[in-house]
Chains A and B, each alone.
Chain A
């Protein structure tokens, strides 16, 4: 360690206990990084076994019960323990105070409590998944989950309940912080679009997560204490569960994608060296997605027996919620026009995001289309669709953001050559894994199938091959980013010549973020075409 380097948030205290009692938003972000990375690889291992099994039509690697547990592990861990917390708790935690010129979030101790709750919830879920097992799928549909499943439903639901509490507290913290702690001169329409996206996400976290908690609580009351709620034999209605579940779980998709859109809205202007096109349209589209996103849940139930009229209304609302997403894509594309575009690794990830998000979004139009959804719902078409959005788009944006802010977070530069290679491997590996699944869906292969008719094999083999490439792509950043922490070149305060407030402080930032609270006098993204400075 360089004796002359200024003390930063990483070097203020080297004791392990200082990490577990920290209230510094930057250190809590690091705690989250470590935790969700662990969950990402647990969920990824389950996916690997699933793809290995599906390489052949027969169920020859694991039994049906194990297979069902694997996709349940994969779904629950990836949705609630990786994707929902991914960008908000890591990049969001680290960047929200820095981007608005604050010293920390509004409630630093609550922020630490959120992390402990998240770890406790995650531990419960892992316990349930590996001790006793769980075979309900991540959707917990009744009456299977409440009456017929022999799995460890109670502990898993308890874990998701606790993790949900953590989500609510995080959302609350962000909302209050963004309202109250902005630097002087930082008006709403001078906020970075990442902040708008996190704000919209936080609103959904606070409003939707309690509904999930109530739904799972009702299901548990029925399962453990025999209170009849969803059980048709005792006058309940299984479809009520689906209505309640999707009232949370569809907005949850926007919890996963909105922060990714926010990251990309930061990267595109920086590497195009010009202001973003249509700032206000991009900002308001995030808010409208958050609002309209609450009114589309019934499109998961077009074949469930809800009324034809309800189906028609939910279809129309689903097309409506796609409009603001399209607006964002058009504005990002228009931002490229007339820029000075530099294809550094964060930009490669951002462009990959736009491509995969567009394919995922367009396939969503097929599913919102009532008569076509009757055919392809519950097939691999749906699996491909939501993986394009939730993995193709969100995880790519997460990696883009991670690369962009890595020098700020760690004070180190990673090897750019390997970063670009990983971006390209991930893009192609992803498409090879999931595009064949669209074809499987159009051919009629149902999802959650352990064994399948032989005519589907060729596409499954392609998909499994793609998963191998994708796994390598995801391991590459783990290796070179870890390497860079110890041996990477030291980063300057602003290696990308970016405009956000977070780049005005040191890399890594001091514990208190800013020596003097900055005053904001300009719009965001005042980029100019000057060449990027040399890193060093």
Chain B
């Protein structure tokens, strides 16, 4: 669509679909505008006060016109709705095999944390052609992760993990904006998405001065925050073992069963008494307000890494 003078093509898996939707909406709108403004112009000229043209009798059964244009409008609107909704459902449904990267937003910077422990500020390096899933958290107010070239945006709301995924189609550097007003330097809370070829991406990962992996850092937090006192194998306290929990259904004391996803793990750390695993006493202390989003993401990464460990292993 380079023929539109101010238009820049998109660079993610759905950007062409979004652009096609735009062209569809634009075409329908321009046709409606031309029809309406054309009729208005013709009527104003033809039926101007001084023109001698014969006026038709007022329309009998005007409700036929009403039904005609109401149903035509409703039909066009339903088509627009269905097109946009079906694409929306696809945009926000992540694939299973995505590479997960954590993003923490705070006034006024973006911090990305790769699974290997590499960290970067106001930049995000990703490999081309690979599905990337961002797990996003905010340390303070609401921000919004917006990459115009990918036609993608999602708010980052404090108090919850939010996820967004994309596949970049070509290498290059793309603008990242904060799209939700967040205070003084909102307009400076920008960054770049650097899309690299797979080999370059591996080189980049290696060149970073990384600490431990996120899961390893999570493991040491797990000990320093005292979690291991109850949850570690061999503990005398009656607390759930966490090996093999992530990704599996968890029966709760109220009889419901919930999937142990990122949100469940997060909520169970912050507000452990809201969803109690069946067969356990609500004795865990509340961690809300005690740990930062960075620490939470590491703990979740550690518990995720236990997903494949044998449940109840000693």
Give the interface of A toward B (CB within 8 A). Answer: 59, 64-65, 68, 135, 137, 139, 141, 143-144, 147-149, 232-239, 272-275, 277-278, 281, 302-305, 308, 311-312, 315-316, 319-320, 322-323, 326-327, 329-331, 333-334, 336-343, 351, 354-355, 358-359, 362-363, 365-366, 368-375, 377-379, 439, 442-444, 446-453, 459, 529, 531
Roughly how many angstroms separate A343 CA and B41 CA in the complex, as a whole number? Answer: 12
Roughly how many angstroms separate A236 CA and B140 CA in the complex, as a whole number? Answer: 13
Contact A355 B37 (CB under 8 A): yes
Q: Is B56 an interface residue (CB 8 A)?
A: yes
Residues of A within 8 A of B40 (CB): 333, 336, 351, 354-355
Contact B146 A446 (CB under 8 A): yes
Roughly how many angstroms separate A485 CA and B290 CA in the complex, as a whole number? Answer: 67
Roughly how many angstroms separate A398 CA and B43 CA in the complex, as a whole number? Answer: 24
Smallest Cβ-Cβ distance to B69: which chain A residue: A330
Partner of A370, one of B32, B43, B85, B180: B85
Residues of B within 8 A of A333 (CB): 36, 39-40, 43
Contact A305 B154 (CB under 8 A): yes
Roughly how many angstroms separate A252 CA and B112 CA in the complex, as a whole number? Answer: 39
Roughly how many angstroms separate A443 CA and B19 CA in the complex, as a whole number? Answer: 12
Question: Interface size of B by Cβ–Cβ distance < 8 Å?
Answer: 81
Residues of B within 8 A of A302 (CB): 88
Q: Which of the segments B58-66, B126-134, B208-216, B299-307 contacts the partner chain?
A: B58-66
Question: Closest CB of chain B to A534's CB: distance in Å?
Answer: 15
Q: Is B314 an interface residue (CB 8 A)?
A: no
Question: Closest CB of chain B to A265's CB: distance in Å?
Answer: 15
Roughly how many angstroms separate A446 CA and B29 CA in the complex, as a whole number? Answer: 23
Residues of B within 8 A of A447 (CB): 179, 181
Known: A233-B288, A362-B32, A378-B153. A371 touches B88 (CB 8 A): yes
Q: Which of the segments B47-55, B229-237, B238-246, B248-256 contacts the partner chain?
A: B47-55
Enumerate the 5 nearest inter-chain pairs by beta-carbon distance, A residue then B residue, closest first.
Answer: A232-B159, A444-B148, A369-B84, A370-B88, A371-B87
Roughly how many angstroms separate A327 CA and B71 CA in the complex, as a whole number? Answer: 10
Per-residue interface assignment for chain B, residues 144 to 187, with 1 indicating a CB less than 8 Å from any chain A CB and 0 otherwise: 10101101111101111010000000000001011111111111
Residues of A within 8 A of B313 (CB): none
Roughly how many angstroms separate A23 CA and B66 CA in the complex, as a whole number? Answer: 43
Partner of A233, one of B18, B142, B148, B289: B289
Residues of B within 8 A of A371 (CB): 14, 17-18, 21, 83-85, 87-88, 91
Contact A327 B70 (CB under 8 A): yes
Known: A143-B141, A275-B58, A281-B66. A316 touches B81 (CB 8 A): yes
Known: A278-B66, A333-B40. A303 touches B144 (CB 8 A): yes
Residues of A within 8 A of B153 (CB): 303, 374-375, 377-378
Question: Closest CB of chain A to B19's CB: distance in Å?
Answer: 9
Question: Closest CB of chain B to A482's CB: distance in Å?
Answer: 30
Roughly how many angstroms separate A316 CA and B55 CA in the complex, as a whole number? Answer: 41
Residues of B within 8 A of A377 (CB): 153, 179
Residues of A within 8 A of B36 (CB): 329, 333, 358
Question: Closest CB of chain B to A170's CB: distance in Å?
Answer: 31
Residues of B within 8 A of A450 (CB): 186-187
Residues of A within 8 A of B144 (CB): 303, 378
Roughly how many angstroms separate A531 CA and B28 CA in the complex, as a whole number? Answer: 40
Smallest Cβ-Cβ distance to B93: which chain A residue: A308
Smallest Cβ-Cβ distance to B40: which chain A residue: A333
Residues of A within 8 A of B271 (CB): 235
Question: Closest CB of chain B to A181's CB: distance in Å?
Answer: 31
